[in-house]
A and B are shown apart, each in its own frame.
Chain A
Amino acid sequence: MFKLFGKLSKKDLLYAIICVILVAFQVWLDLKLPDYMSEITRLVQTSGSHMRDILIQGGYMMLCAIGSLISAIIVGYFAALISASFSRKLRKDIFNHTLTFGMNEIKNFQTSSLITRTTNDVTQIEMVIAMGLQMLIKAPIMAVWAISKIVNKSLEWSALTGSCVIILLITIICLMIIVLPRFKIVQKLIDKINGVTRENLTGIRVIHAFNAEDFQLNRFEDVNSTLTRTQLFNQRCFAVLNPVMNLIMHFLTLGIYFIGAYLIMNASMPEKITLFGDMVVFTSYGMQVIMSFLMLAMIFMMWPRAQVSAGRINEVLDQKTSLKDGNVLDGVKGMTGTIQFKDVSFKYPDAEGYLLKNISFTINKGETVAFIGSTGSGKSTLINLIPRFYDVSEGSIYVDGVDVKDYKLDHLHHKIGYVPQKAFMFNDSVYNNVAYGDNGKETTSKRVNDAIRIAQADEFINKMDNGLESHIARGGTNISGGQKQRLAIARAIAYDPEIYIFDDSFSALDYKTDSTLRKELKEYTKNATTIIVAQRIGTILNADKIIVLDRGKCVGIGRHKDLMKNCEVYKEIALSQLSKEELDNA
C-alpha cells in the first residue's frame, strides 16, 4: 500500500500537506467549540450576566463552526482531487503496463484476474483513500489534542474516558478477529454460488436431458445454506457493535455527570462553578476522544482489504514483461515473405516438458503452408511463436531473413496478418472492426471493402440494418460464430500483410464458403505467404507444403501425395476423414 503511495505526484503531495494543515486548523476550531460552550454555560449559570456577553460568545462559537465547515469543504475538495487523480494514474499505469505483457504474463495472471485488478482493486483503494485520507489525518490530531485538553482536568474523568476507549477497542478488535476471516470465506462462497448457477445455466440442456434438475438443485442448496449460515454468523456478531457503541457513549456522559456530582460536592465553594463548567466541557471532549478512536478503528477495518488490493496491483506492476523489443525495422532485401524455423524448441517457462522440440523448416515467398496434427500436437503453439506471442526456448525464427527477436515489435507485426482460433470482435462498427490496427500505412476504404468481399462477409453485412456502420456488440454477441470468423479474416486482409496466419480460422464455415473464400484470397494476395492450421484434410489438400506435427515433433514435410506415401501419421489422419478412393482422386 505504501509502495503505491509513491505514485502520488508532487502536486498531490502538496495538496495532502495543505489537507493536513487545514485538518489541524479544523480540529483546533472543533475543540475550541466546547470552550465557548462552557463559557456560555457559565454565563447562563451566573446570575446577573448580560445577554450581550452570551450573544458574543455564541457568535464566536458560530464563527468557529463556520470556519470548521469551510476548512472541511476545502479539505474535502483536495481529498477528492487526490483520490480521483491517484486512481486515474493507477488505472492508467496498470493498463499501459499490461499492454506491454506477452502472452506468458497474461496466461500467468489470467485475463479475468487482470481485469478485476485494473478495475475493482483500484476502486477499492480509491474508496479507502477518499474516506480514509481525511480520517487518517484527523483521527490522531483530534485524539491527541482532545486528550491534552482534558488530561489535567480531573483524574477520575480521564480514567473513565480511558476505560471507555479501551472497552470500545477491545470490542472492535474481538469482532475483527472473529469476523474478518469469515468475510473471506463469504467471498469464496459467493463465487461458488455463482459457479454452481453458471454451471446450471450453461449446462441447461444436459441437465434437462439427464433429468438431473434435482441433482443440480441439491448441489446449489449445499452452498446456499453454508453461505447463509456464515453470513448469518457474521451479521449476528456485528449486531453487537451498534448497541455497545451507543452504550459506551451514553455511559460516558452519565458517568461524567455522576462522578461530577461527587467532585462538586466535595469541592470548595469557588471551585464548584468552575468544576461544573469543566464537567460540561468534559462530556463533549470525552465524546471527541471516543470518536477519534472510532475513526482509527474504522481505518484499521478498511486497511486489510485495501492492503489485499494493493498487493494484487503491485504484483501486476512488478511483473517484468518477458518480451524485449529489438531495433531492426525491416527485413533483408530479397528475402521478403520468407519464414525460417531453425531448431526451434518451446516450453512454458515453469513447465517441465517441451511442447515443441527441434522444429526446422523454411517457407518461401508466396507459398501456402499448412500445419496438421491431432489435438495437442503443438500446431497453435508453433504459429504463436511467429508474431512473438511467446518466445522460443531454444533455436530461432527468421522472418524476412531477420531473427524475430531483433525486430522492433510493431514492425514485425506490420508484416503479419493473424486470425486466431476464436474470432475476436470489438465493441465498434463493422467497418472499424475490419479496419482495425496500425500497419504503418493508411487503410483505405477500398481495401476494407475488398477485404470484406473476399472474406465472403458482404452478403450478411448488406443484410444488417446499417451496413458497414452497423454496430457489433461487445464480444460479437449479436452475430454468429461463422460471421465473426469471416470478419476476423477480413480484418487480416485489410491489414495488408506479407504473411497471413490462419489458426484454424475456417472451422465455423461450411465447406462451400471455406473453399470459395480461400480461392478468392489466393487470387487477391498472390504474393503473400499463407500459413494455415487446420483440422480438415480438405482445407489443406492443395497446400504447397504440409507440415505434420505429432506431440511437438515434426514428423513429415511435403505435399499431400508425398506424405500419403511416406508419413504414417498423416496417412492415418487423412484416412480418418476420407476414403482411399477419395484421397486418390483428390
Chain B
Amino acid sequence: MPRGGRNFEKSKDFKGSMKRLLSNLRPWRVMLIIALSLAMISAILALISPNKLSDLADMITSGLTPRINTETVSDIMSDQTISANDKLAFSQLLENAKTEDEDILIKLEELPKPIYEKIKPEMNIKKITKLSLVLAIIYIVSALMSFIQSLILSTISNRFAQKLRSRISTKINLLPLSYFDHNETGDVLSRITNDVDTIAQHLNQSLSVLVTSITLFLGSILMMFITNWIMALTAIISSLIGFAFMGLILGKSQKYFIQRQKQLGNLNGHIEEIYSGHNIVKAYNGEKSASLEFDALNNRLYYCNRKSQFLSGLMQPIMGFVGNFGYVAVCVVGALLTSNNIISFGVIVAFMIYVRLFTNPLNQIAQALTFLQSTAAASERVFELLDEKELPNEDEVTISIDNDKVKGNIVFDHVKFSYDGKNDVIKDFSASVKAGEKIAIVGPTGAGKTTMVNLLMKFYDIKSGDIYIDGISTKKLTRQNIHDLFVMVLQDTWLFDGTIRDNLKFNNTNVTDEEIMNALKTVGINHFVTTLPGGLDAKIGDSETVSQGQKQLMTIARGMLKKAPFLILDEATSNVDTRTEELVQKAMDKLTIGKTSFIIAHRLSTIKNADLILVMQDGNIVEQGTHDTLIAANGFYASLYNSQFEK
C-alpha cells in the first residue's frame, strides 16, 4: 500500500477491537494513567488561564480611566489645600463633560496638580506583576506537563509497537505452512509494518488529543456558563452553526478520499503491471493500449484527487471563519452587556479565548475519532494474524530419535492428505524405504511429489495413515526432532541478506571456515567465492554478482554442512545447468553414502541410478522399481522417459 496516502478504513468491530487493544496495553497501565492525568491537568490549566488573563485585562482597564466618582469628587471638594478657583474650574469641567467629551481628557490633564493627582488613573502595577507571574507559572507548568505526557506516550506506543512486531515475527514461525498457501507475503508484510505503524502513530496522537480535547471541551462549556450564561450560549450556538456546515463537507470529502485511495490503487496496479512486463509490452507493441488505459485511470484519479483535495482544503478556512464568527458574536453581545454594565471588559477577553478553546477540541475530537477508526481496522488485521491457529503443541511428546543412533528405515503406510480438507492430494501412498537407499520421486507437475516431502518433514499433518522412522510413528515425534534428522535442499534458492559465511553457517554456529570452504569446493564454487571482494565475508544481497545457479549451489553447500542421517533434495539442481549438475551429483553421491536420501527431479537423467524410483500420478504411486525394470515394464515411467526423444 502506498505510503503517504491517508487511510480511512473502517473497522469491522470498533468497540471490540479497541477493548482488545487497550487490554494489550495493560503492562503499561500505570504509565498510561499518569500520562493521561497529566494531559487532563494540563488541559484544566489551559482552562483556568483565560480567567486569569481576563482579570489581568480588567486590571489594566481600571488603570485606564480617570477616577471620577463621588468619593474622589468629595475628597477634592473637601481638600483645604486646593484653591476655591480650582475647585470651581473642576466642577465646571465635570458639567461640560456630560455634553461634549472630545477634549475632556486633555482638559483633565491640564488641571492643577493637586486635583490631577487625585483623579489620575492608577495602574496597580504590583498586582499586575503578581498576576502575570502566576500566569507565567501556569503556562510553564502546563507546557512541562504536556511535554512529559507526550514523552511517556511515545515511549509506550513505540514499545507497544516493538512488542507487536516481535509477536508477529514469532507467530510466523509457529503457523502451519498451510497458512502461507492462502496468504500472500505482501499481506503479512503490510501487517508487520504498515498496520503496526498505524497503531503506534495513531495511538500516540489520538489518546492524548482525545483526553485533552474532551477535558477542554467540557471544561470550556462549564467555565463559560460559570462566567456568564448569555455569553456562553452565544459562543456555543454561533460555533455549532459553523460545525454543522463543516460536518456536511467532511462527510462528502470522506467519500472522495475513499474513491481516491481506490483509484490510486488501480493506477498503481496498472503501472506495476506495465513496468514489470516491459519486454512483453514492447515486443507486442502494447505501448499504445497501455498508454490509453493509463490515461483513463489517471483521469479518474485526477477527478477524485481534485474533489477530495478541494473539500479537505476547506476545513482550515471554515474553521477560521467559525472562530471569527464566534468572535464577532461574543464581541457584539459582550459589548451590549458591558454597556448595560452587566459584565466587565475582562469577560469579553476571557470569552475570546473560550471560543477558541471550545471550537478547537471539537475539530480535534473528530480527527482523533477517524484516527482511532483506522487504528481499530489496523489492529483487527494484526490480531487476526496473532489469533491464527498455531501448530499443535508438542509438550507431551516423550520419545525422540537420536541423530547418531538412527538406522534409517522409513515406511509410508497408506498415507492420505489434502490441503483444503476436501480434495485429497495424496490418496493412498504406501512405500518402504531401507536404510542407505537412494529414492527418487518422479511424476508430472501436480502429482504430489513435493507434498510427500512436506509430509515426511511434518510440515503438514497427515489426514490418515502414518509415516514411520525406524518403526516409530512421526506423529509421536516432535517436529524439531524430525527436522534434526533431515538435511533438506529446496528448489528455491533461499539465502538471507548477510555474508556468505553467515549464510552457510546459518544456525549451525560451530562450523569452521575450513569446513565451509570444503563444502564450497564440493559444489565447485570455492574459486568463485574467493574471487569475490571479501571472500566468505562478501554479502549476498540483491547483488547481481551471484547468479541464481551459484545461489543454488550455496544452498546445497549449506545443506552439506548440516550433519544428519536423511537427505531430501527437492528439485535442488533445477537452476543449475546439466554439466554443473553432474558435478554436484557426483559430490552428492559421495555424501549420501550411508544416508537414506529422497530426490525429486524434473530431469529424469538425474535419477537413473536411484535404488528405488517411485512414479507418482494424481497422488498415487502408480509404479515403482529401478530405472531398468520400469523401462522394461513399458508403463507410465517409460512413456514419460521416452517423450524426451520423441520427434
Residue A44 interfacial (CB < 8 Å): yes
In the bound complex, do residue B302 and residue A542 qualify as a contact, i.e. CB atoms below 8 Å apart? no
Chain A contacts for B193, CB-based, 8 A: 190, 193-194, 197
Considering the complex, which residues of chain A in the window 43-96 have a beta carbon less than 8 Å from any beta carbon of chain B? Answer: 43-45, 47-49, 51, 54-55, 58, 61-62, 64-66, 68-69, 72-73, 76-77, 79-81, 83-85, 87-88, 91-92, 95-96
Q: Shortest CB–CB separation between residue B151 and chain A, in angstroms?
A: 5
Taking a contact as CB atoms closer than 8 A, the residue among B135, B275, B445 that contacts A114 in the complex is B275
A96, closest chain B residue (CB): B291
Q: Kindly specify which of A171-179, A228-236, A353-361 makes contact with the partner chain.
A: A228-236
Roughly how many angstroms separate A442 CA and B261 CA in the complex, as a whole number? 37
Evaluate contact between B289 and A438: CB separation under 8 angstroms.
yes
Q: What is the total number of residues of chain B having a CB less than 8 Å from a CB of chain A?
A: 158
Closest Cβ of chain A to B28, distance in Å, is 14
Query: Does A385 interact with chain B (Cβ within 8 Å)?
Result: no
| A169 in the interface (beta carbon within 8 A) | no
Contacting residues of chain A (393-430) with chain B, CB-CB under 8 angstroms:
409-410, 413-414, 416, 418, 420, 424, 426-427
Find chain A residues with CB under 8 A from B317 CB. 68-69, 72-73, 76
Q: Judge if A511 is at the interface, Cβ distance under 8 Å.
A: yes
Flag if B335 contacts A577 (CB, 8 Å): no
Q: Report whether A88 and B577 are in contact in the complex, using a CB–CB cutoff of 8 Å.
A: no
Instruction: Tell me if B484 counts as interface (CB < 8 A to partner A).
Output: yes
Docked Cα-Cα span, A213 to B446, in Å, equals: 29
Chain A residue with Cβ nearest B188? A201
Residue ID in chain B nearest A437 by CB atoms: B284
In the complex, the answer to whether B147 meets A538 with C-beta atoms within 8 Å is no
User: Would you give the shortest CB distance from A576 to chain B, in whole angstroms?
Assistant: 4
Q: Does A276 contact B (CB under 8 A)?
A: yes
* Distance of A11 from chain B, by nearest CB (Å): 14
Question: Is the Cβ of B645 less than 8 Å from the Cβ of A585?
Answer: yes
CB pair B280 A424 closer than 8 Å: yes
A127 CB within 8 Å of chain B: yes
Cβ of A86 to closest chain B Cβ, rounded Å? 10
Q: Is the CB of B305 within 8 A of A87?
A: yes
Q: Are A84 and B306 in contact (CB under 8 A)?
A: yes
Q: Which residues of chain A (190-235) have a CB below 8 Å from chain B?
A: 190, 193-217, 219-221, 224-225, 227-228, 231-232, 235
Among the stretches B53-61, B406-414, B462-470, B531-539, the one at the interface with A is B53-61
Closest to A388 in B: B282
Minimum CB distance partner of B548 in chain A: A375
Q: Known interface pairs A243-B143, A276-B60, A510-B444. Does A211 touch B483 (Cβ–Cβ under 8 Å)?
A: yes
Task: Please determine whether B647 and A542 come into contact, CB atoms closer than 8 angstroms.
Answer: yes
Taken together as a complex, chains A and B put the C-alpha atoms of A397 and B576 apart, in Å, by 30
Asked whether, in the complex, the Cβ of B49 is within 8 Å of the Cβ of A250, the reply is yes
Stretch at the interface among B11-19, B87-95, B102-110, B393-401: B102-110
Known: A44-B335, A250-B139. A578 touches B457 (CB 8 A): no
Residues in B neighbouring A449, C-beta threshold 8 A: none
- Stretch in B72-80, B373-381, B422-430, B636-644 touching the partner: B636-644
User: In the bound complex, do residue B162 and residue A418 qualify as a contact, i.e. CB atoms below 8 Å apart?
Assistant: no
Q: Is A1 an interface residue (CB 8 A)?
A: no
Instruction: Determine whether the beta carbon of A228 is less than 8 Å from that of B506.
Output: no
Contact B605 A80 (CB under 8 A): no
Separation of A426 and B281 alpha carbons in the complex (Å): 10
1/0 per residue, CB under 8 A from A, across B11-54: the answer is 00000000000000000000000000000000000000100010
A261 at the interface (CB under 8 A from B): yes
For the complex, is A111 an interface residue (Cβ under 8 Å from B)?
A: yes
Residues of B near A95 (CB, < 8 A) are: 271, 274, 291, 294, 298
Q: Which chain B residues border A163 with CB–CB below 8 Å?
A: none
Q: What is the bound-complex CA distance between A576 and B643, given in angstroms?
A: 18
Q: Is the CB of A264 within 8 A of B490?
A: no
Residue on B nearest A384 in the bound complex, by CB: B279
B510 interfacial contact with A, CB 8 Å: no
Other-chain contact of A578, B53, B125, B644 (Cβ < 8 Å): B644
User: Residue-by-residue, is B315-326 near A (CB-CB < 8 Å gives 1, otherwise 0)?
Assistant: 011101100110
Q: Is the CB of A576 within 8 A of B284?
A: no
Beta-carbon contact of B173 and A426 below 8 Å: no
B272 within 8 A of A: yes
Question: Please, how many residues of chain A have a CB less than 8 angstroms from a CB on the other chain?
Answer: 169
Given the contacts A204-B177, A228-B159, A510-B445, A247 and B139 also touching, CB distance less than 8 Å: yes
Asked if A512 is an interface residue, CB under 8 A from chain B, the answer is yes
Q: Which residues of B sit under 8 angstroms from A48, Cβ to Cβ? A: 101
For the complex formed, measure the closest distance between the CB of B436 and the CB atoms of chain A, giving whole angstroms: 21
B645's partner among A258, A373, A582 (CB-CB below 8 A) is A582
Residue pair B321, A260 in contact (C-beta under 8 Å): no
Q: C-beta contact mask, A514-534 vs B, less than 8 Å → 1, else 0?
A: 110001000000000000000
B484 (CB) vs chain A CBs: closest residue:
A211
CA distance A200 to B547 in the complex (A): 21
Q: Does B66 contact A (CB under 8 A)?
A: yes
A265 CB, nearest partner CB in chain B, Å: 4
Count chain B CB atoms within 10 A of each CB in A64, A205, A232 and give the residue with the most. Answer: A205
Chain A residue contacts of B146, Cβ below 8 A: 242-243, 246
Select which of A257, A482, A576, A582 is within 8 A of B53 by beta carbon.
A257
Chain B 492-511 near chain A by CB (<8 Å), digits 1 or 0: 10101100000000111000
Q: Which of B101, B147, B188, B264 has the most CB of A within 10 A?
A: B147
A307 within 8 A of B: no
Question: Contacts A81-B306, A216-B173, A426-B277: A202 and B185 contacting too (C-beta < 8 A)?
Answer: yes
Residues of chain B with a CB closer than 8 A to A247's CB: 139-140, 143
B514 at interface (Cβ–Cβ under 8 A)? no
Which residue of the partner chain A has the closest CB to B110? Answer: A269
Contact A273 B295 (CB under 8 A): no
Closest to B301 in A: A88
User: Which stretch from B218-226, B519-527, B578-586, B589-597 is at the chain A interface?
Assistant: B578-586
Structural contact, A92 and B294, CB atoms closer than 8 A: yes
Complex: A252 Cα to B464 Cα, angstroms: 79
- B-chain residues with CB within 8 Å of residue A242 when the two chains form the complex: 146-147, 150
Residues 615-647 of B at the A interface (beta carbon under 8 Å): 639-640, 643-647
Interface set, chain B 159-195, CB cutoff 8 A to A:
159, 161-162, 165-166, 169-170, 172-173, 177, 180, 184-185, 188-189, 192-193
| Neighbour of B486 across the interface among A120, A209, A253, CB < 8 A | A209
Closest A residue to B165 by beta carbon equals: A224
Quick check: is A319 within 8 A (CB to CB) of the other chain? no
User: Which A residues touch B431, using CB under 8 A?
Assistant: none
Contact A376 B549 (CB under 8 A): yes
A40 / chain B contacts, CB cutoff of 8 Å: 331-332, 335
| Inter-subunit contact A375/B128 (CB<8 Å) | no
The chain A residue with its CB closest to the CB of B544 is A107
CA distance A573 to B120 in the complex (A): 114
CB 8 Å contact bits of A463-477 with B (1 = contact, 0 = none): 000000000001101
Q: Does B288 contact A (CB under 8 A)?
A: yes
**A2 interfacial contact with B, CB 8 Å:** no
B530 at the interface (CB under 8 A from A): no
Apart from the given pairs A85-B302, A99-B291, A228-B158, 12 other A-B contacts in the complex at a CB distance below 8 Å: A51-B335, A61-B328, A200-B173, A210-B483, A238-B154, A243-B147, A375-B575, A436-B286, A480-B446, A535-B578, A578-B605, A582-B645
Give the 10 A-B residue pairs with the shortest CB-CB distance, closest first: A437-B284, A538-B644, A72-B317, A215-B507, A374-B577, A203-B494, A243-B143, A235-B154, A80-B310, A265-B123
23 A-B contacts (beta carbon < 8 Å): A43-B335, A44-B334, A54-B335, A76-B313, A99-B287, A115-B271, A115-B276, A118-B271, A119-B271, A197-B192, A204-B177, A205-B454, A208-B177, A208-B479, A215-B506, A215-B507, A224-B165, A243-B147, A413-B283, A437-B286, A512-B444, A515-B643, A585-B645
